[in-house]
Structure 1
Amino acid sequence: MNKFHVIDREGDRKPSPESCVPLLHLTPDDIARRKAYLGITAEDERLLREAHPLLAGSAEAVIERFYAYLLSQEHIRRMLEAPGLIDRLKALQRAYFQRLTAGDYGMEYFQDRLRVGDTHERVGLAPEWYIGAYQTYLQIVRDVLRQALPPGDDRLFPTISALSKIVTLDVGLAIDAYIERARGRLEQRNAELIRLQSAKQTLTDMIVHDLQNPLAGIRAFLEHFASRKDAVTAAEREALEEALRRCDDLGEMVMNVLQVSRAESGKLEVYLEELDLAELAKRSVAAFDLHAKQEGRPIRIEAASPVNVRSDQSLLKRIFYNLIRNALRHTPRGTKISICVTSSGEGRGEFVISDDGPGIPPDVQPLLFERFGASSLRAAGLRVDTGLGLAFCRSAVDALGGRIVVESDGTKGTAFRISIGRPEP
């Protein structure tokens, strides 16, 4: 990774000790091609060398007129307020004016113009101001050249043309420096983003690992007591079963955190296999059937086997569980929940999990699948948990090459429609 610039904790740009020039890897062939693109010929260089002594005595007039223009621009004037800065810049302009018509436009000239562009970018001079200033500078030098050459001199227009080509070259090199410095910043920020993403994933993995072990212990403890039929009353057993469900819910939330994080970093693992989507849907419903009936939210399933797809069984199972759990948790008692599984052909399938509950307002539906949309959903009056269940579903469906959409008019009923399954490669 290059060290084109340094960013401190506040994000301020600081000058790099390295020049941008080496990063451009200029070669003599690059210089020759660049000059050829602009039509800079040996004749142009000869004309400018001849004009050089005629213009030498006009340097101060050119510089004073140029800085009068710069200081008339409020934005630039504010940038030049530092004590002594204008005097230093004028000294640099004198050197540039001498080189502009010297007729020597090789590696040293290119590197010098790149350094100048790099410096202007670092101090925050926007490219449009830079280009505008060059146009003014060119006009001033043209005026001086017209005064320096005798009236009717045939060299005037060819020399002005040659001068315009060199100034265009200078502008192009300056813009190259702007682009190179911006590219360097982008590379460094991308590297920092990758580092932070990796650190976040490592932290998430550690948290999930540290939570899973105590959760497993709690669940085993609850199962042990629930299995002792003679030692607990019916009411206690019901409470234990509810505690087990809550434990499973918490375990699901933990896995959602892990897998959403992995999906964001492109590390969500997908294992494709041939499976029956209808059979998987039936098994998923069976896991919730007793609880759904106890809660007064019976689940009806329409799934004529087989619906063969090529997909990831573990991810699909968790998609079913998240959507069924949401339907049970966020609808009133007496709501009817339906699951319909159909084949789309060519190894693909579709399932719809719907309910006849209150519905979801259309204006908040885009937030349902967002990782950080929970607060906005609560503000809209919706009951939500961490908000990661649907975020996981979208990440998993995306990883499986499918699509998930929500359908609701906001008054009655909600349906989540998922198309899934990858054909054989």
Structure 2
Amino acid sequence: MFQKILIANRGEIALRVLRACKELGIQTVVVHSTADSDAMHVRLADESVCIGPPPSRESYLNIHQIVAACEITGADAVHPGYGFLSENAKFADILAAHNITFIGPSGDHIRVMGDKIEAKRTAKRLGIPVVPGSDGAISDEKEAKRVAAEIGYPVIIKASAGGGGRGMKVARTEADLEVALQTAKSEAGAAFGDDAVYIEKYLEKPRHIELQVFGDGAGRGVHFGERDCSLQRRHQKVWEEANSPALNAEERARIGGICAKAIADLGYSGAGTIEFLYENGEFYFIEMNTRLQVEHPVTEAITGIDLVHEQIRVASGGGLSVRQEDIKFNGHAIECRINAEDPRTFTPSPGTITHFHTPGGLGIRVDSGVYSGYRIPPYYDSLIGKLIVHGRNRVECMMRLRRALDEFVVDGIKTTLPLFRDLVGNPDIANGDYDIHWLEEYLAKED
């Protein structure tokens, strides 16, 4: 087991990892920017190192400074959390060159799954169902028209190096295709420095279903069930739940088995999430995230297994602590992402939190690094906390969530709490009857 882990992140995920390390008796080091000197994870860590000014590129994305912090403090491993450098293959390679363990998959696996085209090819080779589309990057409009005609309109054009909805355009007819292709390539080049795009069949009313997987790097793989992440705004997840209201036990076992076998065959090490669009009983691979997910607590709630403990165990060479038959699914869990944003316009709302009170009681968990008097800096993601609720079934979970949202108090800034109070009372949400377009359509009606 590791002696000292450096946590290369901030906010609630840094605190989440720090707690897991303390439970395992591992010393902790956190890095921080000057804007985060009073953050909770900085206060609670055994050691802290300031690595630069507020801009991420000069601090949390500064690989040289983070490696130097490891060497200064004697950290023998780095946990990257999510975001920032968590899916940076170069970072994983540099750590390995310095004999520091990256708590995550190999740089090679990060590269493969970070390239959307290569990820799709790999998924197909591993037996994972994929969305019909081009086999690789589209070279020109002529090829785009040929592929679109083969798979049928509507189609969606996606950036190969993309994420977060950037470089993604829908074409419903051949007349739309030229503009969609040019716009997607332009956005992809500006956002990612790579204008390569590919084409897939556009599904009209799918759900977003993802499978939590783990590999030991030595040919064993397991899955921890699925999460439904269909409530999204601009391709960003807002509400996640497990298990999905749309799946039955047979479907869960089928897709879980496929994913666990794929991870084993790939020789993958650590946590990963295989993401699908799901429509009319069929799963279609869209991407794999080679890291811990923001929504991992809902999986922990229904399995009772600490996924960060599992990450650390696997990275240290201890292997998986469970076999597939050991993983049982108990009840239902929902996570709401609480952002420092206006609940209608979603404009960021940095500032000082004057009063912060979290709900409690059976089945309630709040992951947050803020406190009364904490000033939210304007430089980073607006997520300030996650409310996770667990119940014996979905009905109990929804009732508990309603009560928890009523108890949650954040004063001094605007947050998305009012949005969730609206959603929890909506009949479609209560019935689990929604898809990836539902939330944006709902918000458009409200406006």
- TM-score class, shorter: under 0.3
If you compute each CA radius of gyration, which structure gives the higher value, 1 or 2?
Answer: 1
TM-score, L = length of structure 2:
0.18
Higher helix proportion, which one?
Answer: 1
Higher RCO structure, 1 or 2 (CA under 8 Å, sep 6+): 2
Higher strand proportion, which one?
Answer: 2
TM-score, L = length of structure 1:
0.19
